[in-house]
Structure 1
Amino acid sequence: MRNNTTKNIQAPAGKKIFVLDTSVILYDHNAFRNFQEHDVTIPIQVLEELDNFKTGNDTRNFEARNFIRLIEEISRQHLLTDWLPVNGRSQGRFKVILDHKPPENNAETIFGSGKFDHRILNAALSLQLENPGSKVVLVSKDICLRLKAKALNLHAEDYETGKIKDLEKLYTGKTMLHVSDSLLTKFNRQRTVPVDILKQQTLPPGNHFYILNSKKQASYGFYSVQTKALRLIENQSVFNISPRNAEQACALDALMNPEISLVTIQGNAGTGKTLLALASALEQRKDYRQIYVTRPIVPLSNKDIGYLPGDVKSKIDPYMAPIWDNLRFIQEQFADKKMQNKIDELVNTDKIAITPLAFIRGRTLTKIFFIVDEAQNLTPHEVKTIISRAGENTKIIFTGDIYQIDTPYLDAESNGLSYLIDKAKSHPRYAHITLQRGERSELANLATELL
């Protein structure tokens, strides 16, 4: 006998009803639980699309499988076309809706048939007609689908969970201060001083870099949230790579600091993010069992690397070309052939492993120096998955440019790198620095600054 609470009744007046499309589920399989007291639905076409995504090792395959299991768990003996409680009877409800064709504003008639997106629009439009007392909102990571919805008089919005609210205030990890010559001389002489010397009204929430300038000189300092002290940063060369500016010096300090287990480096192309991370990994190679270098694979035409010919190395090499370019650049800094050959040996013996990101799922990474390049192409859930793999004595580095995103449905506010920078900034084992000055070449800087 069916429980009375699951009958197919209209949503209470004043409640919102959110319609989630496939892109939201693939971004966060738990999304349907994040709408508080409001009701949530998915069009039946979403289940069909998720069925196509359930096989594979990519994060979207993981999200699809987990969502399917969650829906199976909450439905039990009930029909999915009935309203089902999600987070208890006082919270919102969930159900699957069909794509009845609305008498007016039929999306398939207006935009064309044969696309699931248009049937999803029809499902939401029909729901809106059935619930005149409730505000029906389509939630999608697909900008074009949201625009189509609004053109049909249907409210639409992006999925906001995990998004940075004010990108202009995203943590940069650094503060530039003008100080007196006497203060800077004292700091350079004592090397470590109480942070009170800077006379800042408010202290940073976590570890922080200070770039101090006086009329005659400049110095850089690292503020430790644990010791409440400011330590002098000295320019250091790692594997024959030297910092070319203050920001790079700060980045190297974080990369080489054994007290820091998690580092993020954000910056435009050509600021040296990947090069500094690789050079510091090579410099510390004896302190770690292995060096892992990876980057998200964003395939062309939405095809997985399985479509490419050859073994795994052959499949991923085109995507990992920038990593190899940086390794070759480091090799070229040595006139000694012995050191050049040493880097080749580290690669051939898998001391340096350049691997697809999907291959780390389920593994525990112990005593690994782990570099994740192009991290702006990850979702917040993917970043969480990577960090959760860290075992004892592992250090993880995320590098990327949050304004250069290649993954559909991610942007500067919703990508995993921005999310991590915002959430981790107060942790004592974390350090972040934003690099702004390009060092690739004057020509590259021209493109960044003028074009």
Structure 2
Amino acid sequence: MTATMPPQTETVLEFPDNRLLIDLCGAYDAHLASIEKALEVQIVRRGNQLSVLGDTGAVSQAASVLNTAYARLEGGRTVEQAEIDSLLRMGDTEVGTGSRQGDQIEMPIGEAIEIQTRKKRVEPRTAAQKAYVQSLFDNELAFGIGPAGTGKTYLAVAVGVSMFIGGHVDRIILSRPAVEAGEKLGYLPGDMKDKVDPYMQPLYDALNDFLPGKQLAKLIEEKKIEIAPLAFMRGRTLSNAFVVLDEAQNATTMQMKMFLTRLGEGSRMVITGDRTQIDLPRGQASGLQDAERLLTAIPKISFNYFTSKDVVRHPLVAAIIEAYEADAEA
């Protein structure tokens, strides 16, 4: 029996601004090459037109990616390889889980949501990320749950910096559980700060992306920005602050309850975590899982979920996460 070949289609796309077309194609047509490889299509450039040839469904998706990327450029935004990879994973729209009730939110990727910081503008790249950022502005308590590389912490810190420089909060407080993952704290050299700081380094890295070095150091010295282990939060009331608890899957049930009840007047709190990377001792319940079970029915608490499709690091990271997810389901 002879296998039937899928129908071949050719679509011609016209882009009137040749300068934007150059950016759309990428250096040495790298963006076009990525689309060709991912969707198994052929793209030929003729003047200000791109001809896309291949399977009907793939041609339609390639055209959608190209049109959405061009619309970004027309809006004054950039198109880097990461944006092309994101559009290839999602197409022109993506359904993301955004509300506490798990409602499906369909958002066009081309629609811009930007976070302004002192050093740069930050733009969520996927629909789930956009729903997450929107929930951070709309809710006093929000959860971001999903695998590594999906921007949960990075976007939360960006929103915190934006709200701080806009005068909406008086300070930023970033925290993490100092849970050992194969290496004992006591074995590390130095005093307690020296031992704890490596656990907090991802939070410092995010802040350095959004604030000039001297200003960041001054704000930390003035306690306008605090970065501290979760254990240091006990007994405090966090008022007029933007508070982030990162790696919350490593908080115990009692620690999570303690942290959540620190929320004070005029504050916003964000809890981020990855349920697949729990480093607590065997038999110890994760406070993140308990919070998810207990709090989903409470109004004004947002639960936002991410998948491997929302990974914005190297494309291999998404493939690695998908491989582990498939193994867990086997």
| TM-score normalised by L of structure 2 | 0.60
Correspondence for 1:109 = none
Are residue 320 (structure 1) and residue 195 (structure 2) matched? no
Q: 1:267, 1:401 within 8 Å by CA — same for their partners in 2?
A: yes
Q: 1:266, 1:401 within 8 Å by CA — same for their partners in 2?
A: yes
1:321-340 matches, cutoff 5 A:
321-330=201-210, 339=212
Correspondence for 1:448 = 321
Are residue 422 (structure 1) and residue 287 (structure 2) matched? no
Are residue 372 (structure 1) and residue 245 (structure 2) matched? yes
Shift of the alpha carbon at 1:244?
0.4
Select which of 261, 280, 288 maps to 2:140: 261
Q: Structure 2 CA distance, aligned partners of 1:313 and 1:367?
A: 26
Cα pair distance change 1:311/1:236, threshold 3 Å? same
Correspondence for 1:388 = 261
Are residue 402 (structure 1) and residue 275 (structure 2) matched? yes
Are residue 431 (structure 1) and residue 302 (structure 2) matched? yes
Correspondence for 1:346 = 219
AA matched with 2:153: T
- Structure 2 SS opposite 1:244: coil
Are residue 355 (structure 1) and residue 228 (structure 2) matched? yes
Greater fraction helix: 2
Q: 1:207, 1:430 within 8 Å by CA — same for their partners in 2?
A: no
Are residue 252 (structure 1) and residue 133 (structure 2) matched? yes
Q: Structure 2 CA distance, aligned partners of 1:351 and 1:325?
A: 17
Q: Structure 1 CA distance, aligned partners of 2:252 and 2:179?
A: 13
Q: Deviation per CA, 1:117-137: give whole Å up to 9, x if none.
A: xxxxxxxxxxxxxxxxxxxxx
Cα pair distance change 1:295/1:438, threshold 3 Å? same
Select which of 170, 177, 185 maps to 1:289: 170
Select which of 180, 184, 191 maps to 1:299: 180
Q: Structure 1 CA distance, aligned partners of 2:283 and 2:205?
A: 27
Correspondence for 2:86 = none
Q: Structure 2 CA distance, aligned partners of 1:279 and 1:261?
A: 16
Cα pair distance change 1:388/1:449, threshold 3 Å? same
Shift of the alpha carbon at 1:421?
1.6
Work out which structure has the larger RCO, using CA pairs closer than 8 Å and 6 or more positions apart in sequence: 2
Shift of the alpha carbon at 1:301?
6.5
Q: Structure 1 CA distance, aligned partners of 2:243 and 2:173?
A: 5
Shift of the alpha carbon at 1:219?
7.7
Q: Structure 2 CA distance, aligned partners of 1:377 and 1:301?
A: 14
Q: Structure 2 CA distance, aligned partners of 1:410 and 1:404?
A: 15
5+ residue gaps in structure 1? 1-203, 221-232, 332-338
Q: Structure 2 CA distance, aligned partners of 1:236 and 1:271?
A: 17
Select which of 75, 80, 104 maps to 1:210: 104
Shift of the alpha carbon at 1:282?
0.3
- Structure 1 SS opposite 2:282: coil
Q: Deviation per CA, 1:350-409: give whole Å up to 9, x if none.
A: 211111211111122222211110000112221111112222122221101001111112
Q: Structure 2 CA distance, aligned partners of 1:416 and 1:238?
A: 32
Q: Which runs of 4+ in 1 moved over 4 A?
A: 204-209, 300-305
Instruction: Give % identity.
Output: 33
Cα pair distance change 1:426/1:446, threshold 3 Å? same
Q: Structure 2 CA distance, aligned partners of 1:212 and 1:300?
A: 37
| TM-score normalised by L of structure 1 | 0.45
Shift of the alpha carbon at 1:253?
0.6
Correspondence for 1:38 = none
Q: Deviation per CA, 1:198-253: give whole Å up to 9, x if none.
A: xxxxxx9956553237xxxx389xxxxxxxxxxxx962334211100000001101
- Structure 2 SS opposite 1:317: helix
- Structure 1 SS opposite 2:114: coil
AA matched with 1:348: E
Q: Deviation per CA, 1:272-317: give whole Å up to 9, x if none.
A: 0110110010001122222111111113668555x65444432211
Q: 1:205, 1:426 within 8 Å by CA — same for their partners in 2?
A: no
Cα pair distance change 1:244/1:447, threshold 3 Å? same
AA matched with 1:292: I
Q: Structure 1 CA distance, aligned partners of 2:182 and 2:145?
A: 27
Larger radius of gyration: 1
Q: 2:109, 2:125 within 8 Å by CA — same for their partners in 1?
A: no
